[in-house]
Amino acid sequence: MYAAYRFTTSTIIGDTFKNELYGIRTAHIENGFKLNVSKKGPMQKLTKIRRAWTKERISGQRTRKPITSAILARFLTILRSDDYDHQTLRGLLCFAKFGLLRVSEYSYGSNGNAPLVGQLSIVPSMEEPSFLVYRFQKSKTNQFGKHERIVCACTCPGPCAVHEVVRMLSMRAQVRATDKLFCFKDGTSPTDDHIRNLIKRLCALCGMDHTKFASHQLRSGGVTDLLCNGVPDSIIQLLARWANLDSMVPYKIVSDHDLAKLVAQVNI
């Protein structure tokens, strides 16, 4: 329903839907009914659709900062590589950031794709990993089972998705293609709420304002790093899997320091 309203209906229909939603809420209150506006309730889901139309979320997003490699490196100082659950989170954060992934593409839940080990290829091998290839068939902008591909190259000695994920898998007693790619010792897997709360906790432990960061900022951090390293827009479009370059516009927000580096690279 979200995809249908967000992408295929006209603005007039969208405005009508928004007005009807407001009318339903008003009628319930006037008749003494208590609306279910909990996180899992139907009214909450309808509210998300309305916000997608009015774009109320954009104002908040523009004040957030990308989780760049420098910030990710600070997060990794909190998560230990000798603890399997911590290593799972290390692998997940690096994989999301360097793969430019949306949260629903690496988390587990009703809207996620439940990534499996079998969807991941390690090239050339576990012993000498150079890059990862992750293939899946459904995403936020692709609801029709079209094949999609993510590639993460080794970025050692800094935060590296390749070696963090390989280390995570090597810590398991056994690895099967049907296993979940990210899975804790107790058998559970990280949901979008888990990841959101993780980002907040890591920010607090690193002395950073958690209101300035969100789980989607891993994707924007990957885009920001690529922009600041002079990677052409057309290449970033391929890596981020955008249908057109207009989708990159909200991501082109860099700090003064990064902008100065970018200017120096092109000798302006």
d(CA 184, CA 171): 11
Q: Give the model's pLDDT for residue 7.
A: 42
From residue 265, how far is each of 158, 186, 230, 261 by CA, in Å? 21, 48, 7, 6
Q: Are residues 113 and 31 in the same domain?
A: no
Q: Using DSSP, state whether 150 is helix, strand or coil.
A: strand
Name residues whose C-beta falls within 8 Å of residue 105's C-beta, 6 or more positions apart in sequence.
112, 113, 115, 136, 139, 140, 150
Q: Give the model's pLDDT for residue 108.
A: 92
Report if residue 238 sits inside a domain. no
d(CA 126, CA 123): 8
Q: Are residues 43 and 76 in the same domain?
A: no
Q: Which domain holds residue 147?
A: 70-191
d(CA 220, CA 95): 13
d(CA 262, CA 26): 52
Do residues 183 and 103 touch, judged by C-beta distance below 8 A?
Answer: no
Q: Give the model's pLDDT for residue 10.
A: 53
d(CA 113, CA 136): 8
Per-residue pLDDT tens digits of the chain, which is 268 residues long: 344 444 444 555 556 666 666 666 676 666 666 655 555 666 666 666 666 655 544 444 557 889 999 999 999 999 999 999 999 999 999 999 999 999 989 999 876 678 999 999 999 999 999 999 999 887 777 777 778 899 999 999 989 999 999 999 999 999 999 999 999 999 999 999 999 999 999 999 999 999 999 999 999 999 999 998 889 999 999 999 998 888 888 888 777 888 888 788 776 5
Quick check: bond before 115 cis, omega within 30?
A: no
Tokens representing 52? 């997608």
Nearest to 60 by CA among 49, 51, 72: 51
Q: Are residues 87 and 181 in the same domain?
A: yes
Q: Are residues 181 and 141 in the same domain?
A: yes
Q: Are residues 103 and 46 in the same domain?
A: no
Report if residue 152 sits inside a domain. yes
Report if residue 47 sits inside a domain. yes
Q: Are residues 99 and 7 in the same domain?
A: no
Q: Are residues 75 and 165 in the same domain?
A: yes
Task: Name the one residue in this structure whose structure tokens are 């008003």.
Answer: 26
Q: Are residues 6 and 87 in the same domain?
A: no
Q: Using DSSP, state whether 153 is helix, strand or coil.
A: strand
Q: How do beta strands 131-136 and 148-153 pair?
A: antiparallel
Would you say the pTM of this structure is higher than 0.85? no
Q: Give the model's pLDDT for residue 205.
A: 97
